[in-house]
Amino acid sequence: MEGYNFTQLANERKSANNFMENVEIKKEELEEIFKLVTLAPSCFNLQHARYIVLKDKEMKELFREKVCPQYKVHTASAAVLVLGDKMAYKDAERMYEPMKLLGILDNTAFAETVRSITALYESRGEEFMRDEAIRNASLSAMFFMLAAKEKGWDTCPMIGYDPKAAIKFFNIEDNLEPVMLITLGKEDVNNRRLRGYRKPVSEYVKII
């Protein structure tokens, strides 16, 4: 079901309770979704998000055993671990280099941009770096779930997994913070949950 407008997409995206078994997602289909995810916003365009997509059946079963016992990991076409890079600010030079080469930034503006990004992250310290990793990767993860839905795939964001076990399972580097797991597949609609209660806008929004 491709080609939603945003209202349809927002209404149709739900956290899948379960998936149809034995549905494969092709590498090319994942790449199409991730091409859209590339467009997600990030602080200073540092693109903190990282993804590990587990679609190999045997490895996914092992992952279920060691990291996330939820049944939907078994039926999902892929289990997607979302990570945030706490050291993303160190990439500032690389991220802004193309703008220098295109002449959008001159040498002075380029150096000042890199200096101010580095100063911000280093002055605010480790807690801020971790917050930033989680904040930016979470925005990217939401983009991923919407992009997946637009391409006809259902998802479920999950924190019901063991992040330390995930780090060990994938041998993840120290700079990467596990943010959430997303299972992806074709929803088993016989097992669909009703949409949960939503607060009225007036309860969670203050318009001044």
DSSP state of 194: P
Measured at CB, which residue is nearest to ligand FMN? 160
Least distance in angstroms from the C-beta of 14 to ligand FMN = 4
Q: Is 204 exposed, middle or buried (0-12, 13-18, 19+ CB in 10 A)?
A: exposed
Determine if 118 is a binding residue for ligand FMN (CB under 6 A): no
Q: Which of 157, 163, 170, 188 binds ligand FMN (CB under 6 A)?
A: 157
Determine if 159 is a binding residue for ligand FMN (CB under 6 A): yes
Determine if 10 is a binding residue for ligand FMN (CB under 6 A): no
Segment lying near ligand FMN (by CB under 6 A), choices 26-34, 103-111, 123-131, 156-164: 156-164
Record the tokens describing residue 23, joined without a space. 């549905």
Size of the site for ligand FMN (CB under 6 A): 10
Would you say 14 or 186 has its CB closer to ligand FMN?
A: 14
Record the tokens describing residue 189, joined without a space. 């609609």
d(CA 150, CA 180): 21
Instruction: State how far the alpha carbon of 21 is from the alpha carbons of 62, 80, 117, 168, 176, in Å.
Output: 17, 17, 46, 27, 31
Contact set with ligand FMN (CB under 6 A):
14-15, 156-160, 180, 195-196
